[in-house]
Structure 1
Amino acid sequence: MDNPANGSWRELLGLSYAPVAVVLAGGVLMEASNVYLTTSLLPTIVGDIGGTGFYAWTMTAFLVASVISSMLVSRILITRGSMAAYLLAFGLFGLGSLVAAVSPGIGVFLAGRAVQGFGGGLLAGLGYALIQRALPERLWAKAAALVSAMWGVGNLVGPSAGGAFGQLGVWRPAFWLLVALAAVLMVVVVRVIPRTERAAAGSAVPGVSLVLLTAAVAMVSIASIVPAGVATAVVLVVGLVLGVVFVLFERTAKAAVLPRVTFAAGKALKWVYLTVGVLAFGIGTEAFIPLFGQELGELSPLLAGFLGAALSLGWSLSQTVSANATRVAVIRRLIVGGPVLLAVGLAAYSALQVDGPAAWVVALWFVTLFAAGAGIGVAFPHLAVAAFSSVEDAEEAAKASAGINTVFLMASAFSAALAGVLVKLGEPSALSSAHLLLSVFAIVALLGAFPAWRIVRSGVARKADAPQLTH
């Protein structure tokens, strides 16, 4: 039952606060469902407007833009106020959806995806940032739970909608629907979101870091379209070098993306971030799973869409169970076991890839992907606590925890770009592409057990009493 002192679900969803809850949760739901809506529709999209070689770029463009905007949420909220911030977020998301809906070719579609990503990154951040400003304190916990739940709902809504449109052989109406929803929510924002005061930003924009990071991801993405061989290797090396330069710059930069304590000697935060990065790396396979499902398994767009969401569904559900763990020994096993389970799930899914599989094999595809996602979910809540525990200052602890989502988005962007390279190297055989992509990602996931072990050895893994993290 609800504790009246803490507010109730009936109050949050009642006439007084329901419109605000709809905006906060609706923005996150649009961001979450859009990811799976698009991956479900990608085979139909490239079949219509071409651009198979840029398949991975549809996710990379979205993720890179989301990384940038997610780091600007606080700044935009402070300098522009809550209403303007939300109108900007929904406006950009709607504009990007509009550009995608009318795109004649893959180039324009990618531009739309980037604009969508920028707006989506703002929506995801504002969904949490506005809880304190738009609702009374007694409803904060319920509102946070509602917003967090939208990622799980998006796991179902996105593939369902994308698969339904794909089943009909159309994709543009799906993006027109997103335009309409964004417009409706903008009207609701004007009516219900309380205005907040504006102030000067407290810190500079980490411009150099953002440029280095974007350039690094862009170079890896370019590797998926240049001729295979020496050119691919050169572009990948340049991307790797830019990534190293980004890390080196972050160590001494006054305006940085990551908290300064990340690089302090004797602190466990760097191992937390490395583990988060490895877990996030597994997400890079999602964009191609519906494609493999349709080409190898001959699945309908609807079923292939759900197959693509199986990994994230495993993540969303498992973290709700894992967060209940209280024994230190169990928590430590979950942290180390997370990357291992992710690796085993991806490796098993790779081993099951065949042309024209039997129904029981397809069923095992869902099971292995769900297990891989569970590897992310069982470790993630406890990584948040490890981030808190790795520093003593309360303000730095908050920054350290916030950095987890930033690292997750950065790693997701890199993995989406690398996934495109690996799939290209396996062409023209979809089976070879699937084996190469999933095997490499399984190896990377297994390597994540080392930084996870270092977290455990540092002694910062404690009771999971922090809020759950979401993607």
Structure 2
Amino acid sequence: MTDTATVAPGSWRELLGPRNLGASTVLAGGVALYATNEFLTISLMPSAVAEIGGHRYYAWVTTVYLVGSVMAATAVHSMLMRLGPRWAYLLGLSVFGAGSLGCALAPSMEVMLVGRTVQGVAGGLLAGLGYAVINTALPSRLWTKASALVSAMWGIGTLIGPAAGGLFAQYGSWRWAFGVLVVMTAVMAVLVPIALPGRADAGPDVVPAARVRIPVWSLLLLGAAALLVSIAGIPHDPRATAALVVAGVALVAVFVVVDRRLTASVLPPSAFGPGPLKWIYLTLGALMAATMVDMYVPLFGQRLGHLTPVAAGFLGAGLAIGWTVGEICSASLTRPRVIVRVVAVAPLVMAIGLAIGALTQHTDAGPALVAVWAIGLVITGSGVGIAWPHLSAWAMSKVDDPAEGPAAAAAINTVQVISAAFGAALAGVVVNVTDTG
């Protein structure tokens, strides 16, 4: 990959200057809504379950959100080409607000799951647009910085989400957390017509909107795969769990074969060629899947470390701090050789952080052990952060045909959410197959 970092980088001042500030705010804000909501709910769930019941569906609150996101992510490119950035964002924000309102008013866990599914579908669209519109709305010299800004919102989400959720839970106001999301969504919707054009810039190589179809088969295969892995933690028989996980992985393999042959596909054709694009996507997916251990950090903090909901929420923010700091520092690198080495070492850094976390999980953990656990989470997050902006920019640029650029950008989010769904599901499997949970 030594030839992948050759584009002269733009500056933060240009990206956040008057010309690009509105678009940058909307792109980052959509991903921030998605990520904050995902991790906010994790901290709220112990309080919500105590009020409305449904303890057996604890993991499903995250699962249905991610499955909905996976299915929506496959349609991002076609929605963008058909509706344009402005109307695609307004559609996503409207549906997201409706799902958030449903969660705020949910009288039972069943209604909560419906609201979370709606949130997931809309959130998957918003998160995907955050990457896809970078490719069409910003010059290539700003892609690395814009990718860092957008993906840093995942770090911000894991920082604000658990902490804010813990505060709302601490004061018994978990419903108001979803109400705040409704207000934030409305504010974003007001900004969209000002910041984004009605149509994406159409170059000579861009496929006409009328010819861009929704990849229905790919959508169904990925959604079914995510669902199978998600329900794998429910059976008490390890053989049934293993069978469901294997079936989910098999469906992903079928998706790759089918998607390669379809005219309306999720992955760009370059992903199946001899170039580095497939390895870039696989690396992004592996890093994202591993971050989903953070889903259980607030729960473990309360159960193992006897922390308050607020303190457990801030413990979960350790991964976000490392992610955000690592991303901002890494995005400022300019020397290609240094960038490639940093990206190459990133998975090892993350593995070290996860190992520290694994070794510090003990019942009745004291403050010193919890502090080491937090350090491990920061190291884990930094491993993601130092690699993500460069991998994202490479994914957008390493295509054989410039017309594949928007599809390659949108596919980043598809890879991200399907990997997150698998990571969350596998974490749930590990937790649920043990006797003590």
Aligned AA for 1:292?
F
Does the 8 Å CA contact 1:75/1:201 hold for their aligned counterparts? no
Equivalent position SS for 1:242: helix
Does the 8 Å CA contact 1:66/1:409 hold for their aligned counterparts? yes
Does the 8 Å CA contact 2:331/2:390 hold for their aligned counterparts? yes
Counterpart residue number, 2:124: 121
Deviation at 1:258, TM superposition (A): 1.0
Task: Give the one of 136, 154, 176 matched to 2:157.
Answer: 154
Counterpart residue number, 1:248: 257
**Which segment drifts farther, 369-378 or 237-246?**
237-246
Deviation at 1:204, TM superposition (A): 1.9
Task: Give the one of 18, 27, 32 matched to 1:11.
Answer: 18
Does the 8 Å CA contact 2:225/2:251 hold for their aligned counterparts? yes
Q: Is 2:67 the partner of 1:64?
A: yes
**Which segment drifts farther, 113-122 or 74-83?**
74-83
Deviation at 1:293, TM superposition (A): 0.6
Instruction: Tell me how far apart the structure 2 counterparts of residues 262 and 284 of structure 1 sit (CA, whole Å).
Output: 25
Counterpart residue number, 1:441: none
**Which segment drifts farther, 206-215 or 76-85?**
76-85
Counterpart residue number, 2:425: 417
Equivalent runs, 1:16-415 vs 2, <5 Å: 23-127=26-130, 150-187=153-190, 189=192, 195-196=198-199, 200-264=209-273, 266-384=274-392, 386-387=394-395, 390-396=398-404, 399-415=407-423
Mark the CA change 1:140 to 1:410 in structure 2 (over 3 Å): closer, same or farther.
closer
Equivalent position SS for 1:426: coil
Does the 8 Å CA contact 1:319/1:381 hold for their aligned counterparts? yes
Deviation at 1:156, TM superposition (A): 3.5
Does the 8 Å CA contact 1:57/1:417 hold for their aligned counterparts? no
Does the 8 Å CA contact 1:250/1:257 hold for their aligned counterparts? yes
Instruction: Tell me how far apart the structure 1 counterparts of residues 144 and 124 of structure 2 sit (CA, whole Å).
Output: 22
Mark the CA change 1:174 to 1:130 in structure 2 (over 3 Å): closer, same or farther.
same
Aligned AA for 1:72?
A
Mark the CA change 1:258 to 1:22 in structure 2 (over 3 Å): closer, same or farther.
closer
Equivalent position SS for 1:256: coil
Deviations 1:314-360 (A, max 9, x none): 12211222233444553343233211221121111011111121211
Equivalent position SS for 1:104: coil
Deviation at 1:92, TM superposition (A): 0.8
Instruction: Tell me how far apart the structure 1 counterparts of residues 423 and 18 of structure 2 sit (CA, whole Å).
Output: 42
Does the 8 Å CA contact 1:55/1:420 hold for their aligned counterparts? no
Aligned AA for 1:301?
P
Does the 8 Å CA contact 1:39/1:308 hold for their aligned counterparts? no
Instruction: Tell me how far apart the structure 1 counterparts of residues 238 and 424 of structure 2 sit (CA, whole Å).
Output: 20
Does the 8 Å CA contact 1:53/1:224 hold for their aligned counterparts? no
Aligned AA for 1:347?
A
Instruction: Tell me how far apart the structure 1 counterparts of residues 367 and 315 of structure 2 sit (CA, whole Å).
Output: 13
Equivalent position SS for 2:433: helix
Aligned AA for 1:360?
A
Deviation at 1:138, TM superposition (A): 12
Mark the CA change 1:178 to 1:383 in structure 2 (over 3 Å): closer, same or farther.
closer
Instruction: Tell me how far apart the structure 1 counterparts of residues 139 and 223 of structure 2 sit (CA, whole Å).
Output: 38
Instruction: Tell me how far apart the structure 1 counterparts of residues 159 and 144 of structure 2 sit (CA, whole Å).
Output: 24
Aligned AA for 1:364?
V
Mark the CA change 1:102 to 1:427 in structure 2 (over 3 Å): closer, same or farther.
farther
Aligned AA for 1:343?
A
Instruction: Tell me how far apart the structure 2 counterparts of residues 379 and 216 of structure 1 sit (CA, whole Å).
Output: 27
Does the 8 Å CA contact 2:148/2:331 hold for their aligned counterparts? no
Aligned AA for 2:341?
R
Deviations 1:367-392 (A, max 9, x none): 10110111112222332354467544
Equivalent runs, 1:429-440 vs 2, <5 Å: 429=437
TM-score by length of 1: 0.78
Does the 8 Å CA contact 1:68/1:118 hold for their aligned counterparts? yes
**Which segment drifts farther, 247-256 or 289-298?**
247-256
Mark the CA change 1:186 to 1:236 in structure 2 (over 3 Å): closer, same or farther.
same
Mark the CA change 1:123 to 1:273 in structure 2 (over 3 Å): closer, same or farther.
closer
Aligned AA for 1:79?
R
Task: Return 5+ residue gaps in structure 2 as ranges.
Answer: 1-9, 203-207
Mark the CA change 1:187 to 1:346 in structure 2 (over 3 Å): closer, same or farther.
same
Greater RCO, CA 8 A, separation 6+? 2
Does the 8 Å CA contact 2:158/2:319 hold for their aligned counterparts? no
Deviation at 1:216, TM superposition (A): 1.0
Aligned AA for 1:108?
V
Equivalent position SS for 1:11: coil
Task: Kindly report the root-mean-square deviation, in angstroms, between the aligned alpha carbons of the 2 structures.
Answer: 3.4
Task: Return 5+ residue gaps in structure 1 as ranges.
Answer: 430-471
Aligned AA for 1:102?
L
Instruction: Tell me how far apart the structure 1 counterparts of residues 134 and 432 of structure 2 sit (CA, whole Å).
Output: 43
Deviations 1:100-149 (A, max 9, x none): 12223322212211111122222234446567988999999998876565
Instruction: Tell me how far apart the structure 2 counterparts of residues 134 and 391 of structure 1 sit (CA, whole Å).
Output: 18
Give the number of aligned pairs: 421
